[in-house]
Amino acid sequence: MQKLYTAANLPDAYLLLHRLERAGIRARVLNEHAQGGVGEIPFVHAYPEVWVEAEDAERARAVVAEHESPVAEGARDCGRCGERNPGSFEVCWRCGGMLEPGV
């Protein structure tokens, strides 16, 4: 396995983990419980990290680029249920379906 991403916090690490899993890429979050060690270890060693298999690294980097790109402004309609969602949403608040970017 190789380190793909160092997250600022645990929720960010898990958001990326779930994006990777939806793309069919196996990943793990490491340093999940390291925040409690800050002071005993340097804080930069306590940041959550997302690791992937080496053969998936290139595809995973594309998912990271999408994860870090700004979300389009304006409302979007869900392709599954038709519900209108704010532009900052990635998942439909009503049915949980993935929202297409820029739609």
Q: Is the pTM of this model over 0.75?
A: no
49 and 19 both lie in a single domain: yes
Element containing residue 47 per DSSP (H, E):
none
- Give the model's pLDDT for residue 12: 93
Across 1-10, average pLDDT: 93
What 8-state DSSP symbol labels residue 73? P
Are 83 and 93 a contacting pair, CB within 8 Å? Answer: yes
77 and 65 both lie in a single domain: no
65 and 98 both lie in a single domain: no
Q: Please tell me whether residue 61 adopts helix, strand or coil conformation.
A: helix
- Give the model's pLDDT for residue 103: 43
Instruction: Give residue 85's domain range.
Output: 72-103
The string of pLDDT tens digits covering residues 52-86 is 999 999 999 999 998 888 655 678 899 999 999 98
60 and 77 both lie in a single domain: no
Across 43-49, average pLDDT: 83
50 and 24 both lie in a single domain: yes
User: Residue 61 has which token pair?
Assistant: 């980097």
Other beta carbons less than 10 A from residue 55's beta carbon? 10
| Beta pairing class for 2-6 and 49-52 | antiparallel
- Give the model's pLDDT for residue 71: 59
